[in-house]
Structure 1
């Protein structure tokens, strides 16, 4: 067991990136050691997060951790956190008691993605519409996966300050004549069309059905994967759907870029963007991203890139544990001690 002078955790540290569908774990024995990754597990296979830790990590022969640093898909609560698209409830005090822990620190999952941005290498990124983002400057990350997450990373006084949020739930409006054809057919939750309504896995299928209904066409695909596969095969309905998906992702990414004035770039994360790289690079994404009158020139100067690192949120958590002094973070309300 070791602890660096500037550390806020005691090693070994167990890291987790827990989304609506999958949970990914990694362990760091000390601040300068190698990361040990574990098999990704489906959240539906374990009734609780404690059972997942036991089954995927402890039973795999890993050293018993002294600290947990987790990224969760949902807003962090004072005593417990209910994941947005998963039945698990993460209760730090229960984790401390179950595993005899000294520290539990929780982040929103996209806040953790924000932490990884300064450490990403060129090999971890694919540019969309020009150069890769610069090393410094305020950054934004947005990612369609099971849901739609977003966060900012502010470059302030030499520190990186993550800003978590629920930007995936801001309203999304029709812009083009084609949008107005499609909008009446979009299935809505709570009477709203938000970013997450159509810019996520289930949203892609929702958009596909709306496009089909607008054109009085038969919607043959019944899963998001089937839609992307059909698009790759040249099916016109699926091709238009994926193109519109990229366009609306560009619109909402541009909104967030304006909000943060993201000279450090906008990064696309999540499970979908790396699968539709060619579509995102075809121009519709950037055109929608830049279409922000009267600031088209400003928007054209803001770089965008797709994250192709296989476990970026975990990388962000590890960077925080190794170099906490580089991040401007208040741990009040997210740090529990044993």
Structure 2
């Protein structure tokens, strides 16, 4: 028997076992499973239709699993027996482009094919959206999301809202208010070209250009981006010290120096990037900073050039002066947005049905 045929039979047996276990042997329980997958972490939860509450929230590290299916199984097997069996649907928010049949999670080894995932997990329905589309939908009026205001402004409810945030990469999305519910904009704004605005940023650009031909904003506004900025500043000071983003963040709070300068520079570049995105998409309703990094750095935002970089846009500065900015502190915003997405009419055509 050829290897390919053997693997195919194995997949069919596994899929049938999953189907039997959840649909033939279990009770008819409708369970909506939510997943928020980034380059580092995978978060899971379940939710009842019509109930905003999330239950059985679980955080797993992507590096601990071969792929999404293995992490999904770990989560499912930890649920109470009445939730393990029955009818399951999955709303999955994934980092990276999701429009094709095959999805590669950004900055991760995880990769899956949508139809195969639906079949192998024995799902009734599967919806896959961009992780920052989920972050954006979490900011809709139908969802309670913990956030605090960083910059004052006048919220234009008829205009789009920007949602942006550094993590393993830089996520960017937007919400457009429409009659039948918010229309989410999915893109890869973290991969726009980096535009230096000062001598030090031109030097940073040249430093990064030695490592890659295509220098983008994500190279500086993200966890790895913070490490790049620190390496640049360390080299400029005559040292070759290499630190992780976590170590840089911790040291930035302890004392002034290269680590705090690196954090300040990253936050400033974030402010400038947000200004460009707001002007590009007309996000006069406001901008929300999401993701896992910025809530930790909140105490350092006020002393950084964030506000100056966000408000300064030449002849367009007067517009940005009126745009409010919030910081999302909700660690489960991605899961909440995945739940909103499952019932969003503009995403219905993306639903896979078993």
- Structure 2 length normalisation: TM-score? 0.84
Shift of 1:132: 8.8
CA distance in 1, matches of 2:125, 2:309: 44
Q: 1:94 aligns with which of 94, 116, 122?
A: 116
Q: Is the alpha carbon distance of 1:288 and 1:120 closer, same or farther for their aligned partners in structure 2, counting shifts above 3 Å?
A: farther
Q: Is the alpha carbon distance of 1:154 and 1:227 closer, same or farther for their aligned partners in structure 2, counting shifts above 3 Å?
A: same
CA distance in 2, matches of 1:157, 1:178: 46
Q: 1:186 aligns with which of 192, 198, 208?
A: 208
**239-248 or 60-69: bigger deviation:** 60-69
CA distance in 1, matches of 2:139, 2:118: 30
Secondary structure class of the residue paired with 2:72: helix
Q: Which stretches of structure 1, 4 residues or longer, exceed 4 Å deviation after superposition? A: 120-123, 131-136
* Aligned residue in 1 for 2:256: 235
CA distance in 1, matches of 2:49, 2:84: 12
Shift of 1:178: 2.5
* Aligned residue in 2 for 1:331: 348
Shift of 1:190: 3.6
* Aligned residue in 2 for 1:250: 271
Q: 1:276 aligns with which of 284, 291, 297?
A: 297
Shift of 1:331: 3.2
Q: 1:24 aligns with which of 27, 38, 43?
A: 43
* Aligned residue in 2 for 1:267: 288
Q: Over residues 199-233 of structure 1, what are the superposed CA-to-partner deviations in whole Å (9 max), with x where a residue is unaligned?
A: 110110110111122232x2545111111111111
Shift of 1:167: 0.2
Pair 1:318 & 2:344 matched: no
Shift of 1:180: 2.9
Shift of 1:136: 5.6
* Aligned residue in 2 for 1:211: 233
Secondary structure class of the residue paired with 1:204: helix
Shift of 1:177: 2.5
RMSD over equivalenced CA pairs, Å = 2.3
Q: Is the alpha carbon distance of 1:122 and 1:250 closer, same or farther for their aligned partners in structure 2, counting shifts above 3 Å?
A: farther
Q: Is the alpha carbon distance of 1:205 and 1:337 closer, same or farther for their aligned partners in structure 2, counting shifts above 3 Å?
A: same
Q: Over residues 270-314 of structure 1, what are the superposed CA-to-partner deviations in whole Å (9 max), with x where a residue is unaligned?
A: 111101112223351111111111100001111111100111011
Q: Over residues 144-178 of structure 1, what are the superposed CA-to-partner deviations in whole Å (9 max), with x where a residue is unaligned?
A: 00011101111234631100000000011221123
Secondary structure class of the residue paired with 1:295: helix
Is the CA contact (8 Å cut-off) linking 2:149 and 2:327 kept in structure 1?
yes
* Aligned residue in 1 for 2:69: 50
Q: Is the alpha carbon distance of 1:34 and 1:116 closer, same or farther for their aligned partners in structure 2, counting shifts above 3 Å?
A: closer
Query: Whose helix fraction is larger, Structure 1's or Structure 2's?
Result: 2
* Aligned residue in 1 for 2:5: none
Number of matched pairs: 323
**74-83 or 180-189: bigger deviation:** 180-189
Q: Is the alpha carbon distance of 1:228 and 1:189 closer, same or farther for their aligned partners in structure 2, counting shifts above 3 Å?
A: same
CA distance in 2, matches of 1:137, 1:46: 41
CA distance in 2, matches of 1:40, 1:132: 36
CA distance in 2, matches of 1:137, 1:202: 33
Shift of 1:189: 5.1
CA distance in 1, matches of 2:154, 2:302: 13
CA distance in 1, matches of 2:144, 2:317: 27
Pair 1:224 & 2:245 matched: yes
Is the CA contact (8 Å cut-off) linking 1:207 and 1:241 kept in structure 2?
yes
**31-40 or 248-257: bigger deviation:** 31-40
Is the CA contact (8 Å cut-off) linking 1:162 and 1:328 kept in structure 2?
no
Is the CA contact (8 Å cut-off) linking 2:35 and 2:91 kept in structure 1?
yes
Is the CA contact (8 Å cut-off) linking 1:264 and 1:303 kept in structure 2?
yes
* Aligned residue in 2 for 1:6: none
* Aligned residue in 2 for 1:126: 148
CA distance in 2, matches of 1:318, 1:180: 42
Q: Is the alpha carbon distance of 1:69 and 1:179 closer, same or farther for their aligned partners in structure 2, counting shifts above 3 Å?
A: same
Q: Over residues 166-198 of structure 1, what are the superposed CA-to-partner deviations in whole Å (9 max), with x where a residue is unaligned?
A: 000001122112323433223655412211111
